């Protein structure tokens, strides 16, 4: 069954299930991406700071060479890291990803998050002296030129809260096509979801399975994949808990990008098109909301543009 798409501004088709690549080690991510393309994924989520774009891009090119896909069949998202926010650095940040991936255009380019850090090789802020004041509105305006130049088909945001998104919408020439944010039943973010929908900004749900394998997972943390309500709904539909958590977004009109390096899970996560959740299932899943962020950007909590205060 073909994965449904949503249309972004300008008629660009955005497949509703994408393949996550964060913390997929460079020595395994190529095999994972090839398995994903073989399984039917046609949307891959990348970022400069995943430090594996070269291997992801090579895997995509392998599949093109093999004749399995054409470049235009696969939707590639990547993200501008915080050390490239100054308008004069935006193009360089973009080109590093483009060169890393070995492609000649990107389908969707996102600001990875609103806070800017000082340009330079130190990519992660460890104290306030690493922060930069660049306004993300100016960063986004510089990204508009990439669309004008034809090197990326759409631009958008990630980790933006309602007020930040509103500022971009009020000040920019090209509407951000997407806001990619953490979403799952422990972090429902209904207000943000409703706001994005009202403005025609497509939402992508990251960490839809609760990011259980991330390197900073806390021992004993509540795992949405193991929640009894999720397990119960999975049993009723004869599906796995992961499939229920992915279907939850599709049934809310939200794009979802699960990550896996395990071939059986890569296939499992795509087998979500032959069922749907009931209104009662969605209600039960929404009732699990506890404002639980697995990816909290704690490295820049004191930045003036830290997004998770509302």
Q: Which residues are designated catalytic?
A: 50
260 binds ligand NAP (CB under 6 A): yes
207 binds ligand NAP (CB under 6 A): yes
237 and 275 Cβ atoms separated by less than 8 Å: yes
Surface-to-core class of residue 216, CB atoms within 10 Å of its CB (0-12 exposed, 13-18 middle, 19+ buried): exposed
| 231's tokens | 């397990």
Between 173 and 257, name the residue whose CB sits nearer to ligand NAP. Answer: 257
Site map 2..41 versus ligand NAP, x via CB under 6 A: ------------------xxx-------------------
Q: Whose CB is nearest to ligand NAP?
A: 213
Which range touches ligand NAP (CB under 6 A), out of 62-70, 93-101, 126-134, 262-270? Answer: 262-270
| Residue 85 annotated as binding site | no
Between 90 and 225, name the residue whose CB sits nearer to ligand NAP. Answer: 225
263 binds ligand NAP (CB under 6 A): no
Q: By CB under 6 A, how many residues form the interface with ligand NAP?
A: 30
223 binds ligand NAP (CB under 6 A): no
CA pair distance 280, 286, nearest whole angstrom: 10
Site map 226..255 versus ligand NAP, x via CB under 6 A: --------------x-x-------------
156 binds ligand NAP (CB under 6 A): no
| 28's tokens | 């395994």
Least Å distance, CB 162 to ligand NAP, is: 17
3-class secondary-structure state, position 57: helix
The only residue of 45, 53, 130, 281 in contact with ligand NAP, by rule CB under 6 A: 45
* Positive/negative CA dihedral, 113, 118, 121, 123: negative
225 and 245 Cβ atoms separated by less than 8 Å: yes
Least Å distance, CB 199 to ligand NAP, is: 19
Surface-to-core class of residue 156, CB atoms within 10 Å of its CB (0-12 exposed, 13-18 middle, 19+ buried): buried
* Positive/negative CA dihedral, 231, 236, 240, 243: negative
27 and 261 Cβ atoms separated by less than 8 Å: no
CA pair distance 277, 268, nearest whole angstrom: 17
- List interacting residues with ligand NAP (CB under 6 A): 20-22, 45, 112, 158-159, 180, 206-214, 225, 240, 242, 257-262, 265, 268-269, 295
């Amino acid at each position: 069954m073909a994965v449904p798409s949503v249309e972004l501004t300008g008629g660009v088709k955005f497949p509703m299930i994408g393949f996550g690549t964060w913390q997929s080690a460079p020595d395994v991510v190529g095999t994972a991406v090839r398995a994903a393309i073989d399984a039917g994924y046609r949307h891959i989520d990348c970022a400069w700071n995943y430090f594996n774009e070269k291997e992801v891009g090579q895997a995509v090119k392998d599949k093109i060479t093999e004749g399995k896909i054409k470049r235009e069949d696969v939707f590639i998202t990547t993200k501008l890291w915080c050390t490239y926010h100054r308008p004069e650095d935006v193009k360089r940040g973009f080109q590093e990803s483009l060169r890393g991936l070995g492609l000649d255009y990107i389908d969707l380019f996102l600001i990875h998050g609103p806070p800017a850090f000082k340009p330079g090789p130190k990519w992660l802020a460890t104290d306030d002296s690493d922060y930069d004041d660049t306004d993300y509105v100016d960063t986004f305006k510089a990204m508009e030129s990439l669309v004008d130049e034809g090197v990326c088909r759409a631009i958008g945001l990630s980790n933006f809260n309602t007020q930040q998104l509103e500022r971009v919408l009020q000040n920019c020439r090209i509407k951000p096509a997407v806001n990619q944010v953490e979403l799952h039943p422990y972090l429902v973010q209904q207000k943000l979801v409703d706001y994005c929908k009202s403005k025609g900004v497509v939402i992508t749900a990251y960490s839809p399975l609760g990011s259980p394998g991330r390197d900073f997972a806390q021992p004993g943390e509540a795992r949405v994949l193991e929640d009894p309500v999720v397990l119960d709904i999975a049993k009723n539909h004869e599906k796995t808990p992961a499939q229920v958590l992915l279907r939850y977004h599709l049934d809310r009109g939200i794009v979802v990008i699960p990550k896996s390096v395990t071939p059986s899970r890569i296939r499992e996560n795509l087998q979500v098109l032959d069922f749907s959740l009931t209104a009662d299932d969605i209600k039960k899943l929404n009732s699990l909301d506890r404002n639980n962020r697995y990816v909290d950007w704690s490295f820049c909590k004191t930045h003036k543009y830290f997004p998770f205060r509302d």
